[in-house]
């Protein structure tokens, strides 16, 4: 009986395969335009109108407060600690599916961005034939962190501002 209870406990505490499935390997590397978009969003070309031209549609709306950052936001985040290509989004991973809801593409690269006071996950679509980024999602917390799922209520996608 004790063995059955321990087996059941182990089963209940093991993460669901759908949560962990298809964690994309970082070895495949970022796709066209996503690294450049990250440079723009993290301030290497801050305030540049050329930088904003790479984003279109909803991606441009999401990118604006990151490109044209104010001193208060910068202070709240703290200095940039790291920005790491994390892999490619997968339709079999619940975290990625949530990030891709309502986006015009299912192909997105994932970046883990750490500031001194906060961490974000950036989902960025590859550049199209015109060199523009059409899909961008920015979530609070590290990639595939369970808090990304539990911090949302009412079925809303948690997109955080800078």
Contact (CB, 8 A) for 108 and 89: yes
Three-state secondary-structure class, residue 83: strand
- Write out residues in the chain with pLDDT < 50, as ranges: 1-27, 151-162
Task: Name which of 45, 94, 61 is nearest 162 in CA terms.
Answer: 61
pTM: 0.72
Q: How many CA atoms lie within 13 A of 45 on its CB side?
A: 16
Distances (CA, A) of 97 to 45, 94, 101, 121, 141: 30, 5, 6, 14, 16
| The predicted structure's pLDDT at residue 142 | 78
Residue range 91-119, pLDDT digits in tens = 888 788 887 877 777 789 999 999 999 99
Partners of residue 109 on adjacent β-strands:
88, 124
Torsion angle (degrees, nearest 10) of CA 78, 82, 87, 91: -10
| The predicted structure's pLDDT at residue 147 | 65
Domain boundaries, the chain: 29-150
Partners of residue 123 on adjacent β-strands:
110, 137
């Amino acid at each position: 009986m004790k063995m059955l209870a321990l087996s059941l406990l182990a089963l209940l505490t093991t993460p669901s395969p759908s949560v962990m499935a298809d964690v994309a390997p970082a070895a495949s590397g970022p796709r066209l335009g996503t690294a450049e978009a990250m440079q723009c969003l993290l301030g290497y070309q801050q305030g540049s109108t050329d930088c904003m031209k790479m984003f279109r549609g909803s991606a441009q709306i999401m990118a604006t407060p990151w490109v044209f950052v104010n001193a208060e936001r910068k202070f709240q985040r703290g200095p940039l600690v790291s920005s790491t290509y994390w892999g490619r989004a997968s339709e079999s991973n619940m975290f990625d599916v949530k990030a891709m809801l309502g986006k015009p593409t299912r192909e997105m690269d994932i970046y883990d961005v750490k500031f001194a006071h906060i961490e974000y996950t950036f989902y960025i679509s590859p550049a199209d034939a015109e060199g523009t980024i059409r899909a961008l999602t920015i979530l609070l917390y590290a990639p595939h962190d369970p808090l990304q799922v539990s911090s949302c209520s009412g079925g809303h996608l948690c997109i955080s501002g800078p």
